[in-house]
Every structure is written in C-alpha cells, then in structure tokens.
C-alpha cells in the first residue's frame, strides 16, 4: 500500500507542478509563515534496543532563507550576501526586494538547481507530518558534508525529500537542512543519505506553538 500511495502522490504532484512552479517567492514565504511558523511538531523516536527520545521542532522566519537555499544561489556573486540570509533576507523577500526573477538573473544555474525544492512545500509539510526516519551517521555516507542527528524523509514518485534534524547543545532541536534528491541516484535505495542507516520508529503530534 505504501508504494501505491507514493506513486499516486508523485503522479498528482507532476500534474500540478507546472502551476506550483509559477508561484512567487513571496507566495512561498507567506505559506511558510502561515502553515509552519504557528506550529510545533513533537516527535517520539524509538530505535530498536534503545529508549525512546522526544524532539520538539519549530520553524522561525530567520531560518527560511537557509532552508530554501536563498543565500546559496548568490554566494560568491554578490558582496552583500547577508542581505539574502537570516532575518534580513526574510524581510527583503517580504518587502519584494528579493524575488525569483532576481535570483535567476544573478545565478541561472543555481536557481534551476534549487528551485525544484522551493516548489515542493506540500511534500516538505507532508514529510514533517508523516515521516519515515533514520539515525544519521555521517561516516556511512561517502562524499557528503551533511551533519545531522536524525533524517526525516518521504518518497514522492522519483523524488526523495530529506529533512535533516539536529539537537543543539541546550537540548533543543532544529531543522538543519532540507533537500530533494532523485531516487536511486547513487545506486543506493532510496538515497545514499538513508541507505545503511539505522531505522527509527517515529510518531508525530502537531500542535499550536
């Protein structure tokens, strides 16, 4: 049944991707503000043979540019990259100073590379709410600098959504990274970041922050 659900979801997303693709960066920021910031996601992770652990995840305005790679698109091509990051970047998007056409003009190739992830907010949210999960061990992944404690993931057609979660020194959790990869790209199912990692049973509750 899981494979059928994934296939249907992937088909529907392909049908609507062209219209989603036309939304603006401000639209994406507004949805992030309305559909993510007001909520907390409480995860209970259980690894075989170990005690269960809880993680409370929330989202802030200052994390938006990092998660959706706004700064990465212009890195090395503008002297004021700080204007594309953190709270400054968020404010510049909300007031219309940073737009998709602007980012595409600065760096067309990086825009095309990252833009697909920006059109997949529905899958991002679905992965938060109905995730599969693994304990992430960096030493088991070749040619990657990704740091994380837990990877949430979801498979949507040929796309695999990854949400890398890390625990801070104070014990709080945050989403360190979001990215999408083609399934079986590295001949490891579903991706090299998930294959060979220890699986976690995961339960999630969504609540108002």
Q: What is the pLDDT of residue 7?
A: 52
What residues contact residue 172 under an 8 Å CB cut-off, 6+ apart?
Answer: 56
Task: Summarize pLDDT for 107-135 with one digit per residue, the tens.
Answer: 999 999 999 999 999 999 999 999 999 99
Q: What is the pLDDT of residue 185?
A: 85
Q: What is the pLDDT of residue 136?
A: 98
Residues 197, 46 contacting (CB under 8 angstroms): no
**51 HSE (CA, 13 A, CB side):** 2
Name the pTM for this structure: 0.89
Report the distance separating Cα 74 and Cα 97, nearest Å: 14
| CB neighbours of residue 99 within 10 Å | 14
Task: Give the domain ranges of the chain.
Answer: 2-208
Task: Summarize pLDDT for 163-201 with one digit per residue, the tens.
Answer: 999 999 999 999 999 999 999 788 899 999 999 999 999
194 vs 12, more confident? 194
């Amino acid at each position: 049944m899981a494979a059928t659900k994934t296939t249907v979801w992937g088909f529907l997303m392909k049908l609507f991707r062209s219209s989603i693709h036309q939304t603006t960066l401000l639209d994406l920021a507004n949805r992030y503000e309305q559909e993510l910031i007001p909520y907390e996601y409480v995860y209970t992770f259980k690894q075989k043979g170990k005690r269960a652990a809880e993680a409370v995840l929330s989202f802030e305005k200052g994390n938006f540019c990092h998660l959706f790679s706004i700064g990465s698109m212009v890195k090395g091509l503008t002297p004021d990259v700080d204007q594309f990051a953190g709270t400054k970047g968020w404010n510049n998007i909300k007031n219309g100073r940073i737009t998709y056409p602007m980012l595409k003009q600065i760096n067309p190739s990086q825009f095309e590379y990252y833009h697909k992830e920006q059109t997949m907010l529905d899958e991002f949210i679905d992965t938060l709410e109905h995730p599969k999960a693994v304990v992430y061990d960096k030493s088991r992944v070749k040619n990657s600098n990704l740091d994380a404690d837990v990877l949430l993931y979801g498979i949507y057609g040929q796309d695999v959504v990854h949400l890398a979660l890390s625990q801070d020194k104070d014990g709080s959790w945050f989403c360190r990274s979001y990215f999408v990869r083609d399934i079986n790209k590295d001949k490891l199912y579903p991706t090299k970041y998930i294959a060979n990692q220890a699986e976690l049973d995961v339960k999630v509750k969504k609540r108002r922050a």
